[in-house]
Amino acid sequence: MGNGFRSVTRAFHVLLTVFLLILGGLISGCGSSETRVESGNRTGVFHVGNATEPQSLDPHVSTGVPEHHIQLAIFEGLVSKHPTTLEPVPGVAERWEVGEDRLTYRFYIRENARWSNGDLMTAEDYRWSWERALTPAMGNQYAYMLYPIKNAEAFATGKIGDFSQVGVKVISPQILEVTLNNPTPYFLQLLDHHSAYAVHRPSIEKHGSPTARYSDWTRPGNLVGNGPFKLTEWKLYRHIRVEKNEHYWDAENVALNAIMFYPTENLTTEERMFRVGQLHMTKYIPLDKAPVYRENDPDSFVNERYLGTYYYQFNLSREPFKNVKVRQALAFAIDRDALIKTVLNSSVTAAYSLTPPGTLGYQPPKLVGFDPNKARKLLAEAGFPNGEGFPVIELLYNTSEQHRKVAVAVQQMWKDHLNINVNIVNQEWKVYLSSRDQLQYDIARAAWIGDFVDPMNFLDLGLSDNGNNRSAYSDPHYDYLIKEYIPSATTPKERLERFFEAETYLMEAMPFVPIYTYHTMFLRDKGVKGLPANLMDYYSYKHVTLGNDEVADNAVTEED
Amino acid sequence: MLNFILSRSMQSIPVIFVVITITFFLVRFAPGGPFDDEKSVEPEVKAALEAQYRLDQPLFSQYAAYLGDLAQGDLGPSFKYPGRSVNELIATGFPVTAELGLYAILIALCIGGISGVVAALKPNTAQDYVPMSLAMLGICMPTFLLGPLLILVFGIWLEWLPVSGWGDLPGDKILPSFTLGAAYAAYVARLSRGGMLEVMSQDYIRTARAKGLPERVVVLKHGLRGGMIPVVAYLGPAFAGILSGSFVIETIFQIHGLGRFYVQAAFNRDYTMILGCTVFLATLIVVFNLLSDLLAAWMNPRLRSQLGGNQ
């Protein structure tokens, strides 16, 4: 019997050994291979972490940043952006003329601008595409980016049904004329938004109705774009591959052969992928890794200001927030510097205004510094000396470790400086959105990321009829300032002065408490060149080169 | 036996129907909708979107329409991914999850089965204590801890294996399969040890020994078959659990499996995708439970004769 047991044990041990040998064999075969970054440098393939699986590559359907980062490779706007300054630069249009009334724009389309299948691009492509983008049945959530165009809003909301009444006119195959409702200084910027991209009519119509969301036209092999790259592979939740488009008008200046986009919604995994050479560039970096990279690998760590504001908003339909002094008291009791240093690893900038400073040369007013004495005084004037009688209020945020940390810190500051009790409440993203929409909160965490570089994009949040306001703040005078007073400014300087005036008015009413200005933080291999970080996280891939590990010069010169 | 299969299949239809109905209404009553976003959507746009997905119709007619489509095998279009059908998304994600699950189960059976049997052969000795302690460790250690630990050691320090992906780089299937398999291996080890211990003290084993069979045959042929019944009974639910619960592994390793689709769908309020995945997984769970019952019956003569009697 003892022998029998031994033989069985031996048999199992043999099995186990075989299993381990197989495993060992598999492992040993893997160690020596070249990393993706190394092979990418050799073959001109750029490997990029891109946050999430794109919902769609149809520019009139998609809404997210990851989608836009792929669209920037496969489409190009009528007007493009300078990779560093974000100033408008020629795209599909080689030049444009602006009428003296600042209402009429004439765009001259390049004669060598072609679709990725070789078809010539014409002004009619834009007229048809913008009609598609604005057609109500399309359900384009960014249709409003085209609203500065005359009658565009009326068409998009079904008030008029005839697109010929919209201010888009084909003068000749190469000339497109656009008429605006009002002078709009940021209009050219909007033309680089995906909602304003041209789409290829024959390939869309071949795969179904032009306005159908459920269509195969965006699949590899079907999608015809006009950018420096063309879509060649789309493996769901694995990667998207785009390759150099030989029909692109500036193809000779495109250095990369291909870009691979990986959906990397898990930040920790993305950082690991970067660390072992699977990615040239990440989309984000886990907050707790920021100090580590800043210390040990500063050349790979990118941290630049971003056109976005993190703020808290009050529900003005509820007591005690109807009282402006209560709102101001709470705003003055937040020590932003301490918050950023202790909770946010010094990776963002304190915000004292809704509009990020430096937006198009605009310097906003600074009205809400940390001043606990003033905060206590204001609270007393509101009828709550030393916080007595102040109700227990709730601070709502969407589930996220970072939001929680900020909320806990602010909760403590309000307790310490104002002696008031705050409960912090987290909700899952969609539940939180629904609560904010229906004003089911006291104070809520919120954020606004600019769609274009102009203070208007931030300050119109305070409009009574802006769906993004969500605070019940409504003031006819502020509406007047935004809708009439600012647009009637005659010079850029005067316009900025009026923005300052409007923002001062808004910050005194304090429906929103700015906390910090976002930073874009990510990791980039030292060999990646020609991809500067900028305010809008905007990428111009055609300037990118991959190379050795010397510190990259990511400043793109004016000639670029 | 045929009767048994038929009656069990008939029983499962109302179960799946109830699952569909509850899920359909639960997701609709959850706050927030598929088109809610940080940036508000204008009412006209939202109305157009809802019309495209029949969300403008009364809830019960949506429910009836969904059941009608489902009867034809159409799980509908995804709300989150315009241009993709739920059928396509499941067809993309499921084979990956199934492959991952299969490897994990094989690893669990190899490691767990072997160590359980080895331990059972010499109970209360070092040969028993060592694998069983490891199994206890495996049960206690959650995959979200084991996964990153394995990545740290084999992916980052030793640089032997890729840290993410599935089928993209050589060897990238090893760590996820092993991580997922480890927890199940621990259960299998304990179950097979228990099963073997019980069986090896049975009369028929003594009879087998008495008629002079070599111990190898006694253990492998007579002992193993009875001793593995608890493991087989566990396999069905385990495999179903792996398929629906591999989300953590798929997230840690960036694997494009069904688990990741399913959880993302819930976050996105992708109604059709949530329903599609639920229906699909509920059906699978029912099928796997049925299969594991049948397999257990085949291995257990007493149960087999019971079922045979029903014929």
> Do the Cβ atoms of A259 and A495 come closer than 8 Å?
no
Render pLDDT for A287-336 as a digit per residue (tens, 0 to 9). Answer: 889 999 999 999 999 998 899 999 999 999 998 999 999 999 999 999 99
Which of B27, B45, B263, B277 would you mutate first to test chain A, the one with the most A CBs within 10 A? B45
Residues of chain B with C-beta less than 8 angstroms from the C-beta of A268: 148
Q: Rounded CA gap, A395 and B210, in Å?
A: 76
In this prediction, residue A417 carries a pLDDT of 94
A4: distance to nearest CA of chain B, Å?
4
Q: Which residues of B touch A216 (CB under 8 A)?
A: 83
Minimal CA separation from A394 to chain B, in Å: 19
User: What single string gives the DSSP state of each residue in A194-206?
Assistant: GGG----HHHHHH
CB contact under 8 A, A139 and B159: no
CATH of B86-309, picked from 3.40.50.720, 1.10.3720.10, 1.10.760.10, 2.40.70.10, is 1.10.3720.10
- A434 part of contact set with chain B, CB < 8 Å: yes
Instruction: Give the integer Cα–Cα distance in Å for B47 and A136.
Output: 9
Reading across the β-sheet that carries A422-427, which strands appear in turn? Answer: A349-350, A512-523, A301-314, A443-449, A393-398, A422-427
The predicted-structure confidence for A86-130, as pLDDT tens digits, reads as follows 889 999 999 999 999 889 999 999 999 999 999 999 999 999 999
Length of chain A measured in residues: 560
Those residues whose C-beta lies under 8 Å from the C-beta of residue A85, and which sit 6 or more positions away, are: A534
**Residue A76: is its pLDDT beyond 50?**
yes
* Partner-chain contact A16 B82, CB within 8 Å: no
Looking at residue B290, its pLDDT comes to 82
How many angstroms separate the CA of residue A272 from the nearest CA in chain B?
7
Among chain B residues, the shortest Cα distance to A211 is held by B52
H/E stretch holding A190: helix A187-190
Q: Is B266 exposed, middle or buried (0-12, 13-18, 19+ CB in 10 A)?
A: middle
- The pLDDT tens digits of the residues spanning A214-245 come to 788 999 999 999 999 999 999 988 999 999 99
pLDDT for A550: 45
Ordered alpha helix ranges (H), A305-400 = 324-332, 336-342, 372-381
Q: Are A51 and A282 in contact (CB under 8 A)?
A: no
The closest CB to that of A269, out of B89, B111, B164, belongs to: B164
Of B89, B215, B260, the CB nearest to A7: B215
Average pLDDT over residues A431-452: 91
Query: How close does chain A come to B31, measured CA to CA in Å?
Result: 5
Give this prediction's pTM: 0.88
Q: Closest by alpha carbon to A414, among A435, A393, A432?
A: A393
User: Which tokens belong to A49?
Assistant: 């972490």
Partner-chain contact B44 A144, CB within 8 Å:
no
> How far apart are alpha carbons B245 and B247 in whole angstroms?
5
pLDDT at B128 over 60: yes
- Measured between beta carbons, the chain B residues lying within 8 angstroms of A431 are 30-32
Determine the pLDDT at residue A6.
52
Average pLDDT for chain B: 85
Nearest to B42 among A7, A12, A467 (CB): A467
d(CA A387, CA A408): 19
Q: Give the residue from chain B lying closest to A25, CA to CA.
A: B171
Q: Which of A26, A55, A241 best tests the B interface by mutation, with the highest count of B CBs <10 A?
A: A55
Per-residue pLDDT band for A34 (boundaries 50, 70, 90) equals confident
CA angle A432, A435, A440 (to 5 degrees): 140
Cis, bond preceding A320 (omega within 30 deg of 0): yes
Contact A447, A311 (CB under 8 A): yes
Q: Regarding predicted confidence, which is higher, A442 or B118?
A: A442
Tell me the CA distances in angstroms from A170 to A122, A164, A189, A202, B1, one per residue in order. 9, 10, 21, 18, 75
Residues in chain A with CB shorter than 8 Å from the CB of B106 are none
* pLDDT given at position A2: 45
Residue of B nearest to A428 (CA): B267
Of A361-375, A502-516, B146-160, give the range with the top mean pLDDT.
A502-516
Residues 512-551 of A with CB under 8 A from B: none
Q: Which residues of A touch B155 (CB under 8 A)?
A: 272, 276
**Nearest CA to CA, how far is A432 from chain B (Å)?**
8
The CA distance from B296 to the nearest CA of chain A, in Å, is: 24
Strand ranges in A420-472 using DSSP code E only, listed in sequence order: 422-427, 443-449
What mean pLDDT is predicted for residues B9-31? 88
A278·B169 Cβ contact <8 A: yes
Enter the ipTM.
0.85
The pLDDT score that the predictor gives to residue A21 is 58
Work out the percent of chain B whose per-residue pLDDT is above 70. 97
pLDDT in the model for residue A558: 36
Report which secondary-structure segment, H or E, holds A24.
Answer: helix A2-28
Residues B31-66, buried b or exposed e (16+ Cβ, 10 A)? bbbbbbeeebbbebbbbbbbebbebeeeeeebbeeb
Chain A nearest-CA residue for B224: A8
CA distance A221 to chain B (A): 15
**Are residues B52 and A213, on separate chains, in Cβ contact within 8 Å?**
yes
CB < 8 Å to A156, chain B: 44-45
CA B178 and chain centroid, separation:
15
B260-305: per-residue pLDDT in tens? 888 888 888 889 999 999 999 888 888 888 887 787 777 777 776 7
B168/A4 CB distance under 8 A: no
Asked if A263's CB is within 8 angstroms of B31's CB, the reply is no
> What H or E segment, with its residue span, contains residue A304?
strand A301-314
Average pLDDT over residues A413-418: 94
Is 90 exceeded by the pLDDT of residue B51? no
Q: How many CB pairs under 8 A join A and B?
A: 205
Q: Under an 8 A CB cutoff, do B170 and A213 touch?
A: no
Shortest CA distance from B221: residue in chain A = A8
Query: Number of C-alpha atoms within 13 angstroms, CB side, residue A202?
Result: 8
Give the DSSP per-residue string, chain B: -HHHHHHHHHHHHHHHHHHHHHHHHHHHHSSS-TT--SSPPPHHHHHHHHHHTTTTS-HHHHHHHHHHHHHTT---B-SSSTT-BHHHHHHHHHHHHHHHHHHHHHHIIIIIIHHHHHHHHSTTSHHHHHHHHHHHHHHHS-HHHHHHHHIIIIIIIS--S-SS-SSSSTTTTHHHHHHHHHHHHHHHHHHHHHHHHHHHTSHHHHHHHHTT--HHHIIIIIIHHHHTHHHHHHHHHHHHHHHHHTHHHHHHTT---HHHHHHHHHHHT-HHHHHHHHHHHHHHHHHHHHHHHHHHHHH-HHHHHHHHHH-
- Hey, is A531 helix, strand or coil? coil
Mark which residues 252-281 of A lie under 8 Å from B by CB. Answer: 262-266, 268-269, 272-273, 275-276, 278
Set of chain B residues whose Cβ sits within 8 Å of the Cβ of A274: none
Q: What is the mean pLDDT of residues A266-288?
A: 92
Kindly determine whether residue A27 and residue B45, on different chains, have CB atoms separated by under 8 Å. Answer: no
Residues paired with residue A304 on neighbouring β-strands, in sequence order: A520
pLDDT value, residue A86 = 86
Per the CB < 8 Å rule, is A266 touching B151? Answer: no
Query: Which one of A121-130, A444-453, B113-122 scores highest in mean pLDDT?
Result: A121-130
Q: Does A218 touch chain B (CB under 8 A)?
A: yes
CA A92 vs CA A67, A160, A551, B310: distances in Å = 20, 29, 33, 77
Tell me, letter by letter, the H, E, C secondary structure of B182-208.
Answer: HHHHHHHHHHHHHHHHHHHCCHHHHHH
Q: Which of B37, B169, B251 sits opposite A63 (nearest CB)?
A: B37
- Provide the pLDDT for residue A171: 97
Taking the CA of residue A250 and the nearest CA in chain B, the distance in Å comes to 31
Spatial separation of the C-alpha atoms in residues A216 and A208, rounded to whole Å: 8
| pLDDT digits 0-9 by tens, A50-60 | 988 898 999 99
pLDDT of residue A492: 86
Domain borders along chain B are 86-309
User: In this predicted structure, what is the pLDDT of residue B273?
Assistant: 92
CA distance A228 to chain B (A): 24
Residue-by-residue DSSP string for B121-190: HSTTSHHHHHHHHHHHHHHHS-HHHHHHHHIIIIIIIS--S-SS-SSSSTTTTHHHHHHHHHHHHHHHHH
Segment holding A271, helix H or strand E: helix A267-275
CA distance B282 to chain A (A): 23
pLDDT the model gives residue A5: 46
Cα Dmax for chain B: 85
pLDDT in tens, B196-246: 988 888 888 888 888 888 888 888 888 888 888 888 888 877 887 787 778
Whether A397 has a pLDDT exceeding 90, the answer reads yes
Q: Which of B37, B38, B134, B217 is most worth mutating to test chain A (most A CB atoms within 10 A of its CB)?
A: B38
Res. A11: pLDDT tops 60: no
Judged by a CB distance cut-off of 8 A, whether residue A216 touches chain B is: yes
